[in-house]
């Protein structure tokens, strides 16, 4: 696994979000190169988790991105390897718990302002200055990217 600076990756994740990537992509893409993932593949892998999975406003995409990254750091190659699966699930629960501790929930619709939370139409919102100023998602992206970085460096075990 490639070495990295967490602060730089947090900054990159926020830049990703501010450039138009969804919340899940923003976090996932900030670390994709750590595992030598092709950028286009990484974009495709993570796109569907934005907006609480396909804009259904369920689990925050940033939390889903952390879980996907945990799969690379703590893989379960053998489906019968219960220890590996337990290790993976434990780290996902730890990351989700840290996110929830900071924001009170991991559920997208509970994190968003009421007017945004109700919008589940599959068409994404236009990314404008008003869009970015009205939503707290940049904070969620930054915190999830920080948690993911600590997980990847083994600091959450």
Domain housing 106: 6-152
- Domain for residue 137, yes or no? yes
- CB-CB contact of 9 with 22 (8 Å): no
Q: Three-class SS of residue 102? A: helix
Q: What is the DSSP letter of 124?
A: P
Neighbouring residues of 9: CB distance < 8 A, sequence distance ≥ 6: 30, 31, 145, 148, 149
- Domain for residue 1, yes or no? no
- Domain for residue 157, yes or no? no
Cβ-based neighbour number of residue 100 at 10 Å: 14
Q: How many domains does the chain have?
A: 1
- Domain for residue 26, yes or no? yes
pTM reported for the whole predicted model: 0.95
- Domain for residue 128, yes or no? yes
pLDDT level of residue 127 (50, 70, 90 thresholds)? confident
Cβ-based neighbour number of residue 79 at 10 Å: 8
| Range of 51-55, 120-124, 132-136 with top mean pLDDT | 51-55
């Amino acid at each position: 696994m490639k070495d990295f600076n967490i602060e730089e990756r947090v900054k990159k994740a926020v830049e990703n979000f501010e450039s138009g990537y969804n919340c899940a992509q923003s976090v996932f893409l900030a670390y994709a190169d750590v595992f030598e993932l092709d950028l286009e593949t990484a974009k495709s892998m993570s796109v569907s988790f934005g907006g609480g999975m396909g804009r259904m406003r369920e689990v925050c995409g940033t939390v889903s991105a952390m879980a996907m990254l945990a799969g690379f750091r703590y893989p379960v190659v053998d489906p019968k390897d219960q220890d590996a699966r337990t290790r993976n699930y434990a780290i996902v629960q730890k990351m989700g718990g840290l996110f929830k501790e900071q924001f009170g929930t991991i559920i997208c619709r509970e994190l968003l302002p009421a007017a945004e939370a109700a919008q589940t139409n599959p068409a994404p919102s236009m990314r404008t200055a008003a869009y970015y100023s009205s939503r707290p998602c940049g904070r969620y992206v930054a915190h999830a990217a920080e948690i993911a970085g600590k997980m990847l460096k083994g600091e959450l075990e």
